[in-house]
Amino acid sequence: MRVLRKFTIAVSLSIWAAMLAGCSLPLLENRTHSVALTTEQAQDTRLGRAIAAQLSAHAGLTGIDPLVDSRAAFAARVNLARAAQRTLDVQYYIWRNDLTGILLLEELHEAADRGVRVRLLLDDNGIPSSLDEILAALDAHPNIEVRLFNPFAIRRPKATGFLPDFSRLNRRMHNKSFTADSAATIIGGRNIGNEYFGATDGVVFADLDVLAVGPAAADVARDFDRYWASASSYPARQILSPAALDRLDALGQRARKLQWDPAAAAYVDAIRETPDVRELLESTLPFEWARTRMISDDPAKVLNRAPPTTLVLSQLREILGDPERELDLVSPYFVPAETGTRYFTQLASSGTRVRVLTNSLEATDVVAVHSGYARRRVELLNAGVELFELRRSPHNSDSNEESTGVLGSSGSSLHAKTFAVDGKRVFVGSLNFDPRSANLNTELGFVIDSPELARRIESIFSTLGPQLAYFVRLDSNGNLYWLEQRGNAVVRHDTEPHSAWTTRLGVWFFSILPIEWLL
């Protein structure tokens, strides 16, 4: 028995050692050096020339075009890729191997065939292993370079890598940007996948991006360089196995086949009919011109080496200060934790109106995250914070709206990350108000000085909220209840609306676990 035990231990140690060896990453040597276009080079492109007169008339300001509709947001990316002449710099947390993901990869491929230099930087946790061969094939193209941020050495199954290397792999690049010729960029909350562009019968995310030109777009291009050259950015050829020579041809064939699929018809039409980029090239796009400041985490945050002053929340506090009149916040994953709860309750107690819209339990796609929010609700409400929770299903039979702006449809799950301060300034980006965004992941966004955009955020609470969200309240005994407006009637729920008791049990169970810092 003792010999068998020693043999078992030896085998286990050998397996563990093999896993550790397999999890080691290659040295970052001989990476190619590349940078975004200079201001002068960007101006000498079709996009640069198209916006030159408007930039001159609005010196120092950034042109902002909100992309609320999901299909229009997809089409804007496609059309921006087609408009690029020299460079495309593309950075995402999630990229799906689905209809919209494949169509956009083929757009990058076609741009490279035209001579555009394409740099694609993807967080490795957000891409399925089924994309490895396609990404390797793209990386082999002479005009495309693919890099994987904070990669997994073990490719299948990736989750195995968490066992020996959790502290590193738990930190991710959550940034999202799509930049053409360093002149125009799309940033916001959307990843690349069917659920972000409304191309699925399952959960559809209601989200918000902005198309931007001017100083902030140039800042995004330079920030991409910082991530591209960071110590967490690995050339795909060092991580992925070489692809078959005909793999790019197969990508093109699959994309063309998808374009003829009836499911893609609305997206092919949107590419043709969405006017934003076309109007941009014609110098007729009605931008909102505003002072806009980009905020972005130091990529060294993923290695736990970033100074506190370089983190997004620190930058936000420095730019915004404390709200004086009101704070309207939209966040799909709202986990204020102890520090955030203290901040919001102090604001509300001092007379600042604080309104928060997040997902209800029925609308969320991550029950564990909802538990981190649920445990703080009573304290927030007691201090005067107003809570609204987006409904998932169209319970109101009189409702026939297909789209309601940032909230999407009443069958959506909220994914937009935005807030307005004092009716003057707006944040749009990738930042969730949770410990993961604050401490673990890197984030990117814009602070935009725009009363017009701030009014749009305020209208979510005053106009759209009653249509599509529950109002969360406390009764005289300190118990939670939810109010749902159905036509002219108001329905009261004394438990999380339209949720199963097993789901509520799961929320309770997660709420007692010491995992809030992970959420």
Alpha-carbon distances, residue 422 vs 210, 230, 317, 320, 321 (angstroms): 21, 36, 14, 10, 11
d(CA 172, CA 436): 9
Q: Going by C-beta distance under 8 Å and a sequence separation of 6 or more, which residues neighbour residue 221? A: 36, 37, 42, 89, 179, 182, 185
Q: At what angle do helices 99-113 and 265-273 cross, to 10 degrees?
A: 50
Does 174 qualify as catalytic in the annotation? yes
The residues that bridge with 412 in the sheet, in sequence order, are 204
> Residue 16: what pLDDT?
44
User: How high is the pLDDT of residue 517?
Assistant: 87
Q: Look at the alpha carbons of 113, 116, 117, 120 in this order and tell me if their dihedral is positive or negative.
A: negative
Which of helix, strand or coil describes residue 355?
strand
Identify the bridge partners of residue 482 per DSSP, sorted by sequence position: 472, 493
Quick check: is 415 catalytic?
yes
User: How far is the C-alpha of 222 from the C-alpha of 241, rounded, in Å?
Assistant: 30
Q: Cα separations (Å) of 472 from 135, 420, 482, 491? A: 45, 21, 5, 12
Question: What is the number of other CB atoms lying within 10 angstroms of the CB of residue 241?
Answer: 9
Catalytic option among 301, 370, 415, 498: 415
Distances (CA, A) of 414 to 252, 405, 410: 33, 11, 10
Give, for 8, the enclosing helix (H) or strand (E). Answer: helix 2-22
pLDDT recorded at residue 24:
85
Per-residue pLDDT at 11: 36
**Residue 119 pLDDT:** 98
CATH architecture of the domain with range 301-518: 2-Layer Sandwich (3.30)
How far, rounded to the nearest angstrom, does the alpha carbon of residue 67 sit from its chain's CA centroid? 14
Q: Which is the catalytic residue, given 176, 301, 370, 498? A: 176
CB 494 within 8 A of CB 461: no
Residue 214's contacts (CB-CB under 8 Å, 6 or more residues apart) are 51, 55, 58, 61, 62, 63, 292
CA 299 to each of CA 178, 226, 295: distance values in angstroms, whole numbers, following the listed order: 18, 8, 12
> Quick check: helix, strand or coil at residue 39?
helix
Active-site annotation holder among 89, 139, 181, 297: 181
Contact between 67 and 73 under an 8 Å Cβ cutoff? The reply is: yes
| Catalytic entry in 174, 301, 370, 498 | 174
Contact 462, 371 (CB under 8 A): no
Of 109, 422, 434, 498, the catalytic one is 422
Catalytic residue chosen out of the listed positions 109, 301, 370, 417: 417
Write out residues in the chain with pLDDT < 50, as ranges: 1-22, 395-404, 409-410
Token look-up 């998808």 returns 258
Show me where the domains of the chain are located: 29-281, 301-518
HEC sequence for 156-208: CCHHHHHHHHHHHHCCCECCCEEEECCCEEEEECCCECHHHCCCCCCCEEECC
Bridging pattern class, strands 288-290 and 444-449: unpaired
**424 part of the active site:** no
| Sequence-separated (6 or more) residues with CB below 8 Å from residue 349 | 383, 384
Any bridge partners for residue 469, and if so which? 390
Residue count (the chain): 519
**Cα–Cα distance, 34 to 65 (Å, whole number):** 29
CA distance 170 to 291: 35
First to last CA, the chain: 44
CATH architecture of 29-281: 2-Layer Sandwich (3.30)
- CA 63 to chain CA centroid, Å, is 21
- Specify whether 395 is catalytic: no
Domains 29-281 and 301-518 share a fold: yes
Tens digits of per-residue pLDDT, 46-65? 999 999 999 999 999 999 99
Whether 176 is catalytic: yes
> Is 422 assigned a catalytic role?
yes
